[in-house]
Structure 1
Amino acid sequence: MSDTWLAGALALWIALVFALERLAAADTPPADNRRRIARNIGLGLIALATAPLLLTVTGRIASGVDPLVPLAGLGALGALLVQLLVLDIWTYGMHRAYHEIPFLWRFHAPHHLDEHLDASSAFRFHLGEILISAAMRLIPALAFGIDAATLLLFEAILTANAVFHHSNIRLPARFERLLSLVIVTPSIHWRHHRNIRADTDSNYTAILSLWDRLFGSRNPKPRRIGMAIGVEGERDRSFGKLLVYPFLTKRV
C-alpha cells in the first residue's frame, strides 16, 4: 500500500466525518467554535509535520536490528496483524501512562483542555507528546521488528479512528452499542473527555475497545449530550498558552 494512497484515503475519511458532523451533529458547537477549531488545526499541523518523519526514523532504526520476537514464521500477513495488535496495546499503555504519570500529563493535558469535541480534536496534540510517543514506539518496534511502513499504516488507522471517536456525529444508539463492542466510538471516548477526573482517567484505548475491559479501565457510562468537556478545575487556553502549558503547570 503506497503512502500516497494511504494519505488520500485518510483525507477522504476526515472530509466525510467533518461533513457528517455538520449534517447530523450530536451536540451544539460553542459560540467560539471557529477559534477553537483553528487552535486544534494549529496544533495538528505541527503534529502532522513531525509525526511521519519521527515514525519513519523509528522504523528505520528498528529495521536495522534483529527483533527480539521474530515473526517471520507467521508469514507477511500474520506478522503484520501481530505488529498492529502490539502497537494498539502499546498505545493503550502509553495513553494510560500519560494520565497516571504527572510529567507526561503536562504534555497530554492540552489535548484534554478542549471544551468541545469534534473531528478537529483528534489532531490537538502538543509537540512534546508527539516526540515522546514516537520515541517510546521504538520499544515495540525493536522488540517485534516493526518497520516504518507498518508504523505509518498503524498511525493512519489510529488517526482515522481518532477522528471518528472524537467526532460530534449523532449515531443510532443500537448501531453505536454494537460497534463499541469492537472499536472505540464517540460514546466511549466522549466520557473520557468529561471534565470530571474519575471519568477522564478511564477509557484509554484508541482502536480496539477490548483493552479497557481486559485491563480494568473501562467506564461503562455512555456519553451524555451536553455534559461538560475538558479538564476538571481548568479552562481552555489560547494557542500560545497551550504551547507553553507543559512547562508552566503540573498535575498532582
Structure 2
Amino acid sequence: MTAILGSIFLFGILENLFPFFQYKQSFSRRMSQNFALGLLNAIATSLTTVLLLKWVWQQNIWLGLFKGIKPLWLVGILSFLVLDVYLYFWHRLMHTWPIAWRFHRVHHTEMSMNISTAYRFHTVEVLLSNLPKIFLVWLFGIRPIHAVIYELAFTIIVVFHHSNWHLPERVDKFLSYFIVTPNYHRLHHSQIVKETNSNYASLLSVWDRIFKTFGYSINPQAIKIGLEEEPRELNFVKLLKLPF
C-alpha cells in the first residue's frame, strides 16, 4: 500500500509541476474513473489471487524448479526475470488475440495518459492475467519475498511510465535502455496501430529489444494518444461494458 500511495503521490506531483501534455480536463474528472476501476480490481484480486497464492506457498508437495539453487540473491534475480518476461508475453497476447484485445482496449481508450492510467484495466483482464502468474510461482517455486519485491517494483514503474511527467529527453532515452519510461510507453499508446503494437515491456525494456518489438519516437510531442475508433471519454460503467 505504501508503494502504491507513494508512487501516486510522487509522480502525481511531478506530472503536474512538469506536464508533457497540457490537460483539458480537470484533475478529478480525468482520474476518478481510472482509480474507481483500480479499486474494483484491487478488491477482486484480494479475493482471488491472494488466496490462491497463499495456498501455493503453503503446500509442500512441489517446491519448484528453483529449489536448491544458491545463493538466494540469484534466485531473486531469476524470479524477477521470470515474472517480467511473462508480463511481456501476456501483454503481447492482449494485442494479438482478438478476444483478448476486446478487454485490453479498455486501457488504450485513455486519451490523456496520467498516473491513473496505470490502473485503467478491465477486471476480467486483471484476474485472468494473474492465473498464469500463479502457475509460474508454483512451477519455479518463487518465494513470497521475491514476488513481493517484483510487485513493488512493477507498481512503481507502471505509474512512472504512464505519468504525464515531462522527463528531460536525454534522461528518458538513457533510462529506456534499462526500464520502461514515459516517452517509451507513450509510443505504445499511439493511435497508429504499428506503434501500438510495439513496446510491450512493463518494467525491463530488454524484452522489446530481444524480441524485436522496440520503438522510440523521435518526436513524442506529436503522438496522439488513444484509439481512433473510440474517441469518447468513457465513464466507469461504460469501461466495464466496452468489451461486450
1:156 equivalent among 152, 157, 174: 152
- Describe how 1:58-97 pairs up with structure 2 within 5 A: 58-63=52-57, 64=59, 65-97=61-93
Distance 2:125 2:222 in 1: 29
- In structure 2, what residue type is equivalent to 1:145? G
User: Within the alignment, does 1:238 sit opposite 2:232 as a pair?
Assistant: no
User: Within the alignment, does 1:200 sit opposite 2:196 as a pair?
Assistant: yes
- In structure 1, what residue type is equivalent to 2:44? T
2:187 equivalent among 187, 191, 199: 191
Q: Between Structure 1 and Structure 2, how many residues are aligned?
A: 241
- In structure 1, what residue type is equivalent to 2:123? L
- Give, in angstroms, the shift of residue 33 of structure 1: 5.2
CA contact (8 A) 2:186 2:223 kept: no
Distance 1:9 1:111 in 2: 22
CA contact (8 A) 1:165 1:186 kept: yes
**Per-residue CA distance 1:160-198 (angstroms, 9 max, x = gap):** 101000010111111111111100001110000011111
Specify the alignment match of 1:34 in structure 2. 28
CA contact (8 A) 1:58 1:134 kept: no
Change in Cα spacing, 1:66 to 1:40, as seen in structure 2 (3 Å) is same
1:56 equivalent among 18, 41, 50: 50
2:9 equivalent among 1, 4, 15: 15
- In structure 2, what residue type is equivalent to 1:240? V
CA contact (8 A) 1:55 1:151 kept: no
- Is the partner of 1:116 in helix, strand or coil? coil
CA contact (8 A) 1:58 1:137 kept: no
User: Within the alignment, does 1:138 sit opposite 2:138 as a pair?
Assistant: no
Scaled by the length of structure 2, what TM-score is found? 0.91
Specify the alignment match of 1:250 in structure 2. none
The farther-off stretch of 102-111 and 58-67 is: 58-67
CA contact (8 A) 1:43 1:125 kept: yes
- Give, in angstroms, the shift of residue 222 of structure 1: 4.6
- Is the partner of 1:73 in helix, strand or coil? coil
- Give, in angstroms, the shift of residue 67 of structure 1: 4.3
User: Within the alignment, does 1:213 sit opposite 2:200 as a pair?
Assistant: no
- Is the partner of 2:221 in helix, strand or coil? coil
- Is the partner of 2:243 in helix, strand or coil? helix
Scaled by the length of structure 1, what TM-score is found? 0.88
Specify the alignment match of 2:41 in structure 1. 47
Distance 2:18 2:135 in 1: 41
- In structure 1, what residue type is equivalent to 2:62? D
Change in Cα spacing, 1:86 to 1:53, as seen in structure 2 (3 Å) is farther
Distance 1:92 1:120 in 2: 21
Change in Cα spacing, 1:171 to 1:155, as seen in structure 2 (3 Å) is same
Distance 1:62 1:49 in 2: 20
- Give, in angstroms, the shift of residue 86 of structure 1: 0.4
**Per-residue CA distance 1:181-238 (angstroms, 9 max, x = gap):** 1000011100000111111111000101110010011123256225211123222422
CA contact (8 A) 1:59 1:149 kept: no
Gaps of 5+ in 2: none
Distance 1:182 1:94 in 2: 20
- In structure 2, what residue type is equivalent to 1:109? R
- In structure 1, what residue type is equivalent to 2:51? V
The farther-off stretch of 237-246 and 66-75 is: 66-75
